[in-house]
């Protein structure tokens, strides 16, 4: 009997909304090769589905995404993985349909790049965010493509250089997310936004999004390769490898 690898990202469509759910609790929805591949495929599926007007990306548990899969990165490097995450952010930004993210709880590092790439991001007020790369001898390189497009420069400097935790409410003030609401209102708020977006005509949504994201896509195209190369170089450094090994040991 052949073993079947469990799916880490689920796809469902209802009321013109494609819901893509990250469901890899074993590694806190880290951006492993499998998760990124499945997420990419489901986004493309939603993009080509005529029954879909809006795409919602959420998680099955409180953790939305913990960032890069450090276990994979510490053993295999990030040469390929960094480019795949750049491509993922570009796909979100160029999809012909609006992409909404919903996070109830934690978002870290690379996961913040997905939220920044989305057209509309809604967070629980007490959710936590952190650009933790600086603590590990890394830099928020590939996600700077989208994060620095959204956040105001002072907030970007504070959160990127400090690497400290900030809340969903602060993320909204910084420009990273569209709005933050009390956790018990999150589902209703996102449902209302998706329902409103779904009333848009396909051509209107497509062309409006292209205008809105023109500068973001140009930024990704201009800097994506440089940032992927920088990320891979830093992940391969002795300083980062030692820090990642120590971090993984503490987490166990």
- Domain definitions of the chain by residue range: 9-185
Beta-strand pair 128-130/166-167: antiparallel
Confidence (pTM): 0.95
If 0-12 CB within 10 Å is exposed, 13-18 middle and 19+ buried, where does residue 246 land? Answer: exposed
The class level of CATH for 9-185 reads alpha beta
Q: Which is nearest to 193 in space by CA: 127, 104, 98, 79?
A: 98
What lies within 8 Å, CB to CB, of 43 at 6+ separation is: 20, 55, 88, 91, 92, 95, 99
Q: Tokens 């994979």 correspond to what residue? A: 72
- How far apart (Å, rounded) are the C-alpha atoms in residues 145 and 157? 14
Residue 125: Cβ within 10 Å count: 17
Q: Which is nearest to 45 in space by CA: 136, 203, 37?
A: 37
Digit-by-digit pLDDT tens for the chain (252 residues) are 456 789 999 999 999 999 999 999 999 999 999 999 999 999 999 999 999 999 999 999 999 999 988 888 777 778 899 999 999 999 999 999 999 999 999 999 999 999 999 999 999 999 999 999 999 999 999 999 999 999 999 999 999 999 999 999 999 999 999 999 999 999 999 999 999 999 999 999 999 999 999 999 999 999 999 999 999 999 999 999 898 888 878 876
Q: Give 1's DSSP letter.
A: -
């Amino acid at each position: 009997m052949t073993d079947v690898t469990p799916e880490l990202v689920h796809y469902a469509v209802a009321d013109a909304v494609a819901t893509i759910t990250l469901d890899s609790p074993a590694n806190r929805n880290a951006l492993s090769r499998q998760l990124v591949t499945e997420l990419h495929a489901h986004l493309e599926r939603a993009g080509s589905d005529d029954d879909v007007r809006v795409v919602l990306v959420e998680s099955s548990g409180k953790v939305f995404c913990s960032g890069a899969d450090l276990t994979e990165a510490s053993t295999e490097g990030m040469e390929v993985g960094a480019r795949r995450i750049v491509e993922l952010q570009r796909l979100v930004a160029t999809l012909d349909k609006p992409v909404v993210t919903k996070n109830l709880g934690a978002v870290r590092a690379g996961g913040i790049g997905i939220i920044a790439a989305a057209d509309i991001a809604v967070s629980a007020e007490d959710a936590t965010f952190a650009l933790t790369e600086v603590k590990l001898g890394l830099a928020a390189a590939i996600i700077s493509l989208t994060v620095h497009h959204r956040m105001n420069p002072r907030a970007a400097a504070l959160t990127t250089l400090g690497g400290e935790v900030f809340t969903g409410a602060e993320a909204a003030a910084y420009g990273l997310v569209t709005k933050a609401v009390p956790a018990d209102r999150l589902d209703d708020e996102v449902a209302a936004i998706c329902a409103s977006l779904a009333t848009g005509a396909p051509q209107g949504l497509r062309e409006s999004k292209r205008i809105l994201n023109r500068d973001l896509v140009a930024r990704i195209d201009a800097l994506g390769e440089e940032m992927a190369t920088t990320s891979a170089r830093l992940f391969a450094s002795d300083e980062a490898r030692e820090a990642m090994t120590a971090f993984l040991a503490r987490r166990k």
